[in-house]
Structures are given as C-alpha cells and as structure tokens.
Amino acid sequence: MKKTMIHLADGRELFYFDRSDAADRSARDERDLPPRPPSSELRYDPLMDEWVAIAGHRQTRTHLPSAEECPLCPAHPGSEIPSWYDVVVFENRFPSFSYVGPDTREQVGGLSEVRPGIGRCEVVCFTADHQSSFAALSPEQVELVMEAWADRTAELSALPGVEQVFCFENRGAEIGITLPHPHGQIYAYPYVTPRTRQILDNAERYGGNLFADVLAAERAGPRVVAANEHWTAFVPAAARYPFEVHLYPHRQVPDLAALNTEERAAFGAVYTDVLWRLDGVFGVVMPYVAAWHQAPVRARRELGYLHLQLFSIRRAPGKLKYLAGSESGMGAFVNDVRPEEAAELLRGWGKPGRQITD
C-alpha cells in the first residue's frame, strides 16, 4: 500500500491510498476552486450537557448531482479528485468541524456558551466506480479501505483539540445522502460524543468487561448472523432498529489503528457478507448507517472496545421506520421487528443467487 498526500488548489489536503507502489501522484492541482467556507461554531446545551455544531455553510453543499456531475468521480471538471484512484480521502468542502485555532469561549445567552468548531471532517471514497457499493468491493479493496480508516484515525487523533474520531457511512436516499457515490466520512470531534459518554459510563459502573461479556453472551445465543476467526456479527438483544447488526473483533482494541494485520484482513469477509444479507432480506437495496464506535482519544481509552454498528430504517418492503415522537422527542425507541426474527431473516439470505433491485 502506498499513501501520498497532495494539496488541492484551495489548500485542502487529499490522500491517495494506492495498491501499487508505482503510482505517480506528483501532478499539481491547478484548478480554479472556490474559497473554503468559514468555520462552524459549537453551542452548549446546558439541559442536555451536549455541544451542538452550527454550520450554516452546509446549506449550500452539493445535493444529489447526476452521475456525470458527481464530485467523487475522478478527473472531470466538477470533481473534487483530480486523478483516478483506488481509495482516496480528502478534507470535506462543507465541513461540520474545521477550525484549527485557539479554543476561545464566550457567552451567547440562554445559559449557553459558544466556542469555535475545532476539528476536521474528511470524505473517504471507497472506490472510483460510481455504480459500485461497499458490499461489492473485493477483499483487497476492503483491506485498503481499512488501511485508510486506520491511518486517518491515528493522524486525526493526534490533532490538537480532537477528543474522538468517528468513521461512518450513510447509504441510501432514505437515510438522507446527498451523494450516491460509494463513500463514507470521518469526523474528528472536539468533544466525546453523547453516546460514547453514556456507553463508557455504563462500562465503568459494570465492574467487569461489559463489552466482552456482551460479545460472549451473543456468540452463544440465537442472534449471530456471521462470524470467522477474528470477528462476530450479531443482532443485539435490544436492537433499536428493524435491522441492526453489531460487528465485534474478538480481541479488545480501542480503535481501528490498533487492529493487527490478521484482524484487518478478516473484517471484509464478515462485513460484506452481512451487507449482502441485508440487501437480500427484501430483495432491494437497503438504506443503512454504518458507524464505527472507537474509544476517545484521551479520556477512558482503557474502557473502549472497537465495534461497528450497522442499522437500517427499512422495516418491510415499501415501509420505513420513522424516528417520530417517542424516538425523536424522548430518545425512547420502539422496534417493530423482534431481534431474533431479524437475525433469522438475515441468516436466510446471502449473496449467491439473490437478485437485488434499486
């Protein structure tokens, strides 16, 4: 694997991850790009003890362009990426976090305070093939994506002010994507996210190793979907979404950068199998969010246990699970599909012979 960093014409960093060491990335980007947007700000919610990013410039981000105008397809006039690639990562043109200066704070009223949106947001293109998907990637391509995730996790974790790194993929119009090209994103937050704080609080109170005990119990139960020597994928007992699968490495590590060579190589077989099964349940392309849960950069890293949460809001053909009153207003989930039934459905459909439609 060869990694090369270049600067785009507007000053943003772009990283090529090539399978071949002979890849030549010496050409300069001399395009006429628009200036970078202003930084976002963070506002504190004293009732929830949470920070909210205010990023008004994101209102103008690209929204569902045609395939011919896709900014993630390489080497055309409207592209973000100046040449062909295997895997590429670059700073988001419309970032939620991008400030690199001092962490100044001031009162904004309502018992709140405002601070600059310290951090960084990056886009990860899994393939140059606009019509592909993560499920269709070759094992070698998945390994290259894993290398990119691990590399960026390590480098972003070292940035001043960054407290947590989050790699994720949004897929499907129902999820709210703005670009259909196979890609994900990485957020480097200036705080530990609310979900992570809650999980680590519970792990700290538990006394033993909460994550390892959950994994052991699920591996012995009826909700395992797929597994190999290094990874297990299961539907959690209290799944919040109609179809939700968690993928755990069998060894506790804090983040993607800590996975060894064998664990990185073994991930793709289990994950792409689960993705094919997800699409196979109803014979249609399923919308999903794939979220890597990593330990915070500094606080309580010893408690963290890397795992991937994959979930879809589709509950039946032509029906979505909307996060309405109870879920959105109270954060209290009601799932329409029994987790055991979801696991059985996922086990029943795999890649061979299953016709998937858009």
Of 233, 132, 120, the residue nearest 183 (C-alpha): 132
- Taking each helix axis from N to C end, the angle separating 210-219 and 194-206, rounded to the nearest 10 degrees, works out to 90
- pTM attached to this predicted model: 0.95
Dig out the tokens for 78 from the structure. Answer: 């409207």
Per-residue pLDDT at 352 exceeds 50: no
When mean pLDDT is compared across 8-22, 28-42, 263-277, the lowest value belongs to 28-42
pLDDT recorded at residue 290 = 98
The domain 195-348 having CATH identifier 3.30.428.10: the answer here is yes
Q: Which of the four pLDDT bands, split at 50, 70 and 90, describes residue 223?
A: very high
- CB distance 261 to 131 below 8 Å: no
Of 117, 67, 115, the residue nearest 92 (C-alpha): 117
pLDDT recorded at residue 356 = 52
Q: What is the mean pLDDT of the chain?
A: 94
Of 278, 277, 312, 308, the residue nearest 291 (C-alpha): 308
Q: Is 241 left (phi over 0), alpha (psi -120 to 50) or beta?
A: beta
Summarize the confidence of residues 225-229 as an average pLDDT. Answer: 97
Higher pLDDT, 76 or 212: 212
Per-residue pLDDT at 33 exceeds 50: yes
pLDDT recorded at residue 323 = 93
pLDDT recorded at residue 62 = 82
183 catalytic? Reply is: yes
- Helix H or strand E encompassing 270: helix 261-280
In DSSP terms, which residues pair with 3 in a beta bridge? 17
Higher pLDDT, 90 or 354: 90
Alpha helices for 179-260 (secondary structure H): 194-206, 210-219
Q: Which of 183, 230, 246, 307 is catalytic?
A: 183
pLDDT recorded at residue 250 = 98
Summarize the confidence of residues 178-184 as an average pLDDT. Answer: 95
The domain 2-191 having CATH identifier 3.90.950.20: the answer here is no
Tell me: the pLDDT tens digits for 84-142?
999 999 999 999 999 888 899 888 888 899 999 999 999 999 999 999 999 999 999 99
Distances (CA, A) of 185 to 42, 145, 304, 306: 20, 12, 21, 17
Q: Which of the four pLDDT bands, split at 50, 70 and 90, describes residue 358?
A: low
**In CATH terms, are 2-191 and 195-348 the same topology?**
yes
Question: What residue segments make up the domains of the chain, in order of their start?
Answer: 2-191, 195-348
- Taking each helix axis from N to C end, the angle separating 261-280 and 139-157, rounded to the nearest 10 degrees, works out to 120
Most confident of 66-70, 146-150, 317-321: 146-150
Q: Is 172 left (phi over 0), alpha (psi -120 to 50) or beta?
A: left
pLDDT recorded at residue 353 = 46
Q: Which residues contact 197 (CB under 8 A, 6 or more apart)?
A: none
pLDDT recorded at residue 76 = 87
pLDDT recorded at residue 32 = 87
Summarize the confidence of residues 313-340 as an average pLDDT. Answer: 95
- CB distance 312 to 242 below 8 Å: yes
Tell me: the pLDDT tens digits for 243-266?
999 999 999 999 999 999 999 999
E runs forming strands in the chain = 2-7, 13-18, 41-45, 50-54, 87-91, 106-109, 112-116, 120-125, 164-171, 183-189, 224-227, 231-234, 243-249, 288-293, 307-312, 314-316, 319-320
Q: Which residues contact 41 (CB under 8 A, 6 or more apart)?
A: 53, 54, 114, 115, 116, 117
